[in-house]
Amino acid sequence: MESNNIFDVIILGAGAAGLTAGIYLSRAKTRTLILNEGMVGGQIVLTHEVANYPGVENISGYQLATTMKKQALSFGCEIKQNIKISKLDLSGKIKTVFVGEEKYTAKAVIVATGGRSRELNAEGEDTFKGRGISYCATCDGDFYTGMDIIVVGGGNSALEEAVALTTYAKTVTIVHQFDHFQAFEHAIETAKNNDKIRFILSSKIENFKGEEKLQKVVIKNLEDGTKNEMLIDGVFILIGYQPNSEKFKEHVTINKYGEIPTDLKMTTNLPGVFAAGDIREKQIRQIATAVSDGAIAAINAIEYIQK
């Protein structure tokens, strides 16, 4: 194996958590490699405008991710993107990651592969992501002030976020595929008692339409098959979250939701393996919390390899 492939720390994932860890590690003169299976930035790049990240105004998710990447590179962090991880061995003192036939080793690994919001897989959904379709009410709610929006989902998160969105939106329509909700009774009653919220049950969005941005949706009634077009300014799809943890099931402890449990030092059940960001077992998933996780994981990874 080439000496160029021997690192102190390998970070898997280049979202907010992974890039932050890369910045902290490389600035501390720790030889660091970030491996990312897609485009650098993770979920951040899907956000049209980031308005709630402290100290930053009027920046797109893509720009913020690009700035983080530049910072990491400027301190000497190596980044390989759009690769495919073929094999892992995280159990020994030296951790091994294969990209195809290429072998990389490190004394510690930080898993920061993030996750993804569950999608409807409806026609036009990919086209209007970030241009009328959002998966995060906290991130994007204020962009729809005074507008008519839809929330898709019937769990606690969907109903609670629908109520929260009435702070900004003119109207909120909840579209749910069943004739009943899966949320707690309190969440259901709160939504029903809100004058800005109306409901379309036993229905699903079949198609998203528009020009430069989303303008209307086609809603299908699942009981009688009828379809109706509805003019709309935005749609929030809140039907759950899926961590990108499939590759790690045979290596670290993973809970029933697919999340990796850690302690406050971001340590997993395996010595020298840390987890940070949206893949970690946690309540809140925001850029700010991912950055925090990345910094904590990096500092503790440094402490681990120094021992």
CATH of the domain at 165: 3.50.50.60
Number of domains in the chain: 2
Domain's final residue, options 237, 266, 288: 237
In this predicted structure, the answer to whether residue 240 has a pLDDT above a threshold of 70 is yes
Mean pLDDT of 231-249: 93
Structure tokens, 10: 């390998």
Instruction: Verify that 43 and 153 share a domain, yes or no.
Output: no
User: pLDDT category, 247, cuts 50, 70, 90?
Assistant: very high
Amino acid (1-letter code) at residue 230: M
What pLDDT sits at residue 117? 83
Instruction: Verify that 112 and 259 share a domain, yes or no.
Output: yes
Which of the pair, 116 or 149, is modelled with greater confidence? 149
Instruction: Round the CA-based radius of gyration of the chain to a whole number and report it.
Output: 21
Picking from 155-159, 268-272, 300-304, which range would have the lowest pLDDT averaged per residue? Answer: 155-159
What percent of the chain lies above the pLDDT cut of 70? 98
Instruction: Verify that 176 and 27 share a domain, yes or no.
Output: no
- 198, 191 contact by CB (below 8 A): no
What pLDDT sits at residue 20? 98
Instruction: Verify that 254 and 204 share a domain, yes or no.
Output: no
Instruction: Verify that 181 and 264 share a domain, yes or no.
Output: no
Rounded Cα–Cα distance for residues 214 and 164 (Å) = 22
Domain's final residue, options 237, 255, 278: 237
Instruction: Verify that 131 and 200 share a domain, yes or no.
Output: yes
What pLDDT sits at residue 48? 65
Taking CA 108 as the corner, what is the angle to CA 104 and CA 110, rounded to the nearest 5 degrees? 95
283's CB contacts (< 8 A; 6+ apart) are: none
Instruction: Verify that 219 and 246 share a domain, yes or no.
Output: no
Domain's final residue, options 237, 266, 286: 237
| Residue pLDDT, tens place only, 51-86 | 788 998 878 888 999 999 999 999 999 999 999 999
Residue with the two structure tokens 């919001």: 117
Amino acid (1-letter code) at residue 245: S
- 14, 36 contact by CB (below 8 A): yes
Instruction: Verify that 66 and 112 share a domain, yes or no.
Output: yes
Which of the pair, 169 or 137, is modelled with greater confidence? 169
User: pLDDT category, 226, cuts 50, 70, 90?
Assistant: very high
Domain housing 196: 119-237
Instruction: Verify that 250 and 197 share a domain, yes or no.
Output: no
Residue with the two structure tokens 């992974």: 18
In this predicted structure, the answer to whether residue 272 has a pLDDT above a threshold of 80 is yes
Q: Report how far apart, in Å, the C-alpha atoms of 74 and of each of 26, 42, 77, 226 are.
A: 9, 20, 7, 57
Instruction: Verify that 7 and 109 share a domain, yes or no.
Output: yes
Q: Report how far apart, in Å, the C-alpha atoms of 66 and of each of 15, 70, 151, 248, 303 are.
A: 10, 6, 30, 27, 28
What pLDDT sits at residue 139? 79
- 108, 127 contact by CB (below 8 A): no
User: pLDDT category, 2, cuts 50, 70, 90?
Assistant: low
Instruction: Verify that 88 and 179 share a domain, yes or no.
Output: no
Picking from 116-120, 185-189, 279-283, which range would have the lowest pLDDT averaged per residue? Answer: 116-120
Q: Report how far apart, in Å, the C-alpha atoms of 197 and of each of 95, 161, 182, 205, 222 are.
A: 52, 11, 17, 18, 21
- 125, 27 contact by CB (below 8 A): no
In this predicted structure, the answer to whether residue 1 has a pLDDT above a threshold of 60 is no
Instruction: Verify that 150 and 51 share a domain, yes or no.
Output: no
Taking CA 285 as the corner, what is the angle to CA 283 and CA 290, rounded to the nearest 5 degrees? 115
Helix (H) or strand (E) segment spanning residue 100: none
Q: Which residues of 26-52 are buried (b: 16+ CB within 10 A; e: fewer)?
A: bbeebbbbbbbbbebbbbbbbbbbbee
In this predicted structure, the answer to whether residue 275 has a pLDDT above a threshold of 70 is yes
Terminal CA-CA length for the chain: 25
What pLDDT sits at residue 156? 86
Kindly compute the dihedral angle of the four CA atoms of residues 277, 282, 283, 288, in this order, to the nearest 10 degrees: -30
Mean pLDDT of 4-30: 97
Mean pLDDT of 207-214: 96
Q: Which residues pair with 175 in a beta bridge?
A: 152, 200
